[in-house]
Amino acid sequence: MPLGYYLLNAIQNAASGHPGMPLGMADVAAVLFSKFLRFSVQNPNWINRDRLVMSNGHGSMLIYSILHLLGYISIDDIKKFRQLHAITPGHPEYECTPGIEATTGPLGQGLGCAVGMAIAERMLAQRFGGDLIDHYTYVMAGDGWDASF
């Protein structure tokens, strides 16, 4: 099934959610996950994985759909989108859902978090060597992009 099917269906079933950002960024996310990001479904906490922070967390169904297609979460998790105690809340939550790198909510919050993560990566690479630590941090930012100023 195409990516858009999962995200639109889940948003419709929840009768809540934001379809614009997930639909608009689906191709970008698909390319990031298929061509650039290094990760391990078998070991979601792999120390040298690349990180993707979704600063525009209201579009969380995009990342949940991809995580489902990759095998991180089940279709039942997708069906519970935005329900109490689900691992697919309305905004991504770190340590709630495997594959989520940061809890985001207020627009722009994830951008600052991603910058901090990237600085920490460079510091770790300097301390332990670029052969051991050579991962990257990517960020999706929407209306909170002005946090970069």
20-31 helix and 3-14 helix, angle to the nearest 10 degrees: 150
Asked, for residue 128, whether it belongs to a domain, the answer is yes
3-state SS string over 11-54? HHHHCCCCCHHHHHHHHHHHHHHHHHCCCCCCCCCCCCCCEEEE
Range of the domain at 58: 3-144
pLDDT in 10s for each residue of the chain, 149 residues: 678 888 888 999 898 888 999 999 999 999 999 999 999 999 999 999 999 999 999 999 999 999 999 999 999 999 999 999 999 999 999 999 999 999 998 888 899 999 999 999 999 999 998 888 999 999 998 866 667 66
Determine the pLDDT at residue 86. 97
Determine the pLDDT at residue 1. 63
What's the pTM value of the predicted model, to 2 decimals? Answer: 0.91
Query: Is the CB of residue 109 less than 8 Å from the CB of residue 116?
Result: no
Tally the domains of the chain: 1
Determine the pLDDT at residue 48. 95
Asked, for residue 61, whether it belongs to a domain, the answer is yes
Query: Is the CB of residue 99 less than 8 Å from the CB of residue 68?
Result: no
Determine the pLDDT at residue 61. 95
Asked, for residue 135, whether it belongs to a domain, the answer is yes
Residue 28's CATH number: 3.40.50.970
Asked, for residue 149, whether it belongs to a domain, the answer is no
Asked, for residue 85, whether it belongs to a domain, the answer is yes
Asked, for residue 19, whether it belongs to a domain, the answer is yes
